[in-house]
Amino acid sequence: MGGGDNKLTKATLHGAFWAYAATYSSKLMVLISTTILARLLLKEDFGIAGYALVITAYLDIINGLGIGPALIYYPKNKETTNIAFWLGLGMGIILFIIAWFLAPLAGKYFNDLRAVPVTRVLALTFPISALSIVHEAILRKELLFKTKAIPDFTRAMGKGLTSIILALLGAGVWSLIFGQLVGVALSVIAYWRVVPWAPSLRFNFYRAPALLSYGLNIVSVKALGVLLLNTDYLLVGRYLGPASLGTYTLAFRIPELIIGQFAEIISQVLFPIYAKIGNTHELYRQRIFLTIRYVSMITVPIGVGLALVAKPFILTLFSDKWIDAAPIMSAISISYTVEALIYNFGDIYKATGHPAILTKISLIRVLILLPALWWTITKLGSLLAVGWTVAVVSFIGMMVQLIVAHRILRIPYLMIMEALRPAAIGCISMAVFVAAALFYCSELPPLLQLVLTVSIGGVTYLGTLWRFQNEVRGTAVSTLRKGLKKGDDK
């Protein structure tokens, strides 16, 4: 590869490193606070907060109008940036008003009037977060993920500390709601401190249509994504009640935190980089191959490992009060692992100005998921069945995504299988040893089970890669050294 691609490799690795550090330093705080809150609060508290979260998630579909990705896609322009700010703020205010009047309907839908006040208060996050949409997009466009770490960590710290303090004071579900608000407000303050940009009162109406045209395509993809990610919460909350929703929410928390956030990190880094390299299918194929290979080498063992050790993990961190969440977490871990493998295909479609492809793929998945979830919840009434339904639909979605990538980007199936080979080999051996360890250590305390199985799994997986995947090991080490060495990042 040429010097230009080496620079992109370095930018990718630097961006991924700082995005990863930023996210997981803050997510560590989220994990700590979740562990504490799970012991302080009731299942119903998480379920009632879940009512508000799922309603605001649906309204969040049009929050920002896709302006952030549009600013990354289009060349930098002062007037466009200014328009983006005012459009985003206006939509944030409108969404708060809509949420206020829709809240009673949420109470009727969930058959629980406690959903009304929590939804109204949580909706304040719309106008507050809108104040930093442009600032976040500027940092992402310039690949300044090291700087972005500051507001990200500030948000997590503010949210976690506020929630814990209020929970200790007996605030119940409100500790979760006000924790969200404080975290968002503090992150906005941090964004304005680290990004030297402020809006002006000028508004050029002639530039708005182009910005909205691209952004609304992103909104349509986001809408279908929200349906995919939140319909299960909506149905569980209505038909199975707040306690079941609380259990289901917690079962999602760890896989989303570890696997889902990793895929999002890579996406944050790759989208602005893909947007810079033009419509070069050969380069995209090379990037996709490397992305699948290295993402799978991280996410597959984590996902399978979480699925295997879910029971001791839940017992150790959250206590036996949440034991029902363990088998559900196993299913969701598999689902997130499958999603992570194909997550970054979408970045290419967005970067080449074809986000409509994502819309069509997501629509297919929604048409499969909605009736499957409705039947599972209303007929079986089992949270575990819901979890595995989500996992099966994720697998179907992966197959659709691979078929589309094969036809649109001309990516050979054998190339994808080759990219997955190292992770598959290492993970099979890891799963055998971890399953055996769980069988023979079943009488040990949960903490000791967790430490032993994670240690055995990690050593087995890395040892297998080291022994049987010399080429991959050498390439990975060489790429990391080249990409992370000091020098010009541009």
Residues 347-373 have pLDDT tens digits of 666 666 566 677 778 788 888 888 999
Helix or strand or coil: residue 321?
Answer: helix
Alpha-carbon distance values, 364 to 59, 216, 221, 223, 227 (Å): 22, 19, 12, 13, 12
Tell me the HSE value of 107 on the side-chain side, using a 13 A CA sphere.
14
Report the pLDDT value the prediction gives residue 4, as an integer from 0 to 100.
47
Report the pLDDT value the prediction gives residue 257, as an integer from 0 to 100.
82
Q: What's the whole-model pTM score? A: 0.77
Report the pLDDT value the prediction gives residue 489, as an integer from 0 to 100.
42
Question: Is residue 487 left, alpha or beta, with left meaning phi > 0 and alpha meaning psi from -120 to 50?
Answer: left
Report the pLDDT value the prediction gives residue 149, as an integer from 0 to 100.
81
Tell me the HSE value of 58 on the side-chain side, using a 13 A CA sphere.
17
Residue with tokens 């998945």: 365
Interatomic CA distance for residues 426 and 133, integer angstroms = 41
Q: Which residues are CB-neighbours of 81 under 8 A, at least 6 positions away?
A: 71, 134, 138, 197
Interatomic CA distance for residues 263 and 278, integer angstroms = 23
Give the angle subtended at the CA of 349 by the CAs of 359 and 3, to the nearest 5°. Answer: 165
For the four alpha carbons of 275, 278, 281 and 282, in that order, the dihedral sign comes to: negative
Report the pLDDT value the prediction gives residue 486, as an integer from 0 to 100.
43
Orientation of helix 3-40 relative to helix 242-255, angle to 10°: 150
Interatomic CA distance for residues 330 and 323, integer angstroms = 12
Interatomic CA distance for residues 168 and 179, integer angstroms = 13
Per-residue pLDDT of the chain (490 residues; tens, 9 = 90+): 444 445 555 555 555 555 556 566 667 787 888 899 999 999 999 999 999 999 998 888 777 666 767 777 666 777 778 888 888 888 899 999 999 999 999 999 999 999 999 999 999 999 999 999 889 888 877 767 778 888 988 998 999 999 999 999 999 999 999 999 999 999 999 999 999 888 887 766 666 666 666 666 666 666 767 777 788 998 999 999 999 999 999 998 889 888 877 766 665 555 555 555 555 556 667 777 777 787 788 888 999 999 999 999 999 999 899 999 999 999 999 999 988 887 767 666 666 656 667 777 878 888 888 899 999 999 998 999 999 999 999 999 888 888 887 777 777 888 888 888 888 999 999 999 999 999 998 889 999 999 999 999 999 998 988 876 666 555 555 554 544 454 434 3
At 124, list the tokens. 């304040």
Domain locations in the chain as residue ranges: 3-484
Interatomic CA distance for residues 273 and 186, integer angstroms = 29
- Tally of CB atoms within 10 A around 194: 17
- Tally of CB atoms within 10 A around 206: 8
| Rg over CA atoms, the chain | 22
Alpha-carbon distance values, 134 to 58, 142, 171, 347, 451 (Å): 22, 12, 34, 20, 43
What dihedral do alpha carbons 437, 439, 445, 450 form, nearest 10°?
40
Return the amino acid letter for 460.
T
Per residue in 10-24, pLDDT (tens digit) is: 555 555 555 556 566
On whether the CB atoms of residues 375 and 318 are closer than 8 A, the answer is no
At 159, list the tokens. 């949210």
Report the pLDDT value the prediction gives residue 330, as an integer from 0 to 100.
96
On whether the CB atoms of residues 387 and 377 are closer than 8 A, the answer is no
Report the pLDDT value the prediction gives residue 417, as an integer from 0 to 100.
87
Report the pLDDT value the prediction gives residue 490, as an integer from 0 to 100.
38
At 19, list the tokens. 């995005």
Report the pLDDT value the prediction gives residue 474, as an integer from 0 to 100.
55
Q: Which helix (H) or strand (E) holds 384?
A: helix 383-408
Report the pLDDT value the prediction gives residue 45, as an integer from 0 to 100.
94
Interatomic CA distance for residues 37 and 174, integer angstroms = 12
Report the pLDDT value the prediction gives residue 358, as an integer from 0 to 100.
73
For every residue of 145-195, DSSP letters joined together read: HHHHHHHHHHHHHHHHHHHHHHHHTT-THHHHHHHHHHHHHHHHHHHHHHS
At 172, list the tokens. 């119940």
Alpha-carbon distance values, 26 to 159, 160, 262, 318, 396 (Å): 10, 10, 13, 19, 32
On whether the CB atoms of residues 447 and 309 are closer than 8 A, the answer is no
Interatomic CA distance for residues 97 and 330, integer angstroms = 39
Orientation of helix 325-342 relative to helix 261-274, angle to 10°: 10
Return the amino acid letter for 363.
L
Beta strands in 332-444 (DSSP E): none
| Alpha-helix runs per DSSP H in 41-144 | 43-59, 67-73, 78-109, 115-122, 125-130, 133-141
Q: By 3-state DSSP, what share of the chain in percent is helix, strand and coil, each rounded to 5?
A: 85, 0, 15
Report the pLDDT value the prediction gives residue 362, as an integer from 0 to 100.
78
On whether the CB atoms of residues 250 and 46 are closer than 8 A, the answer is yes
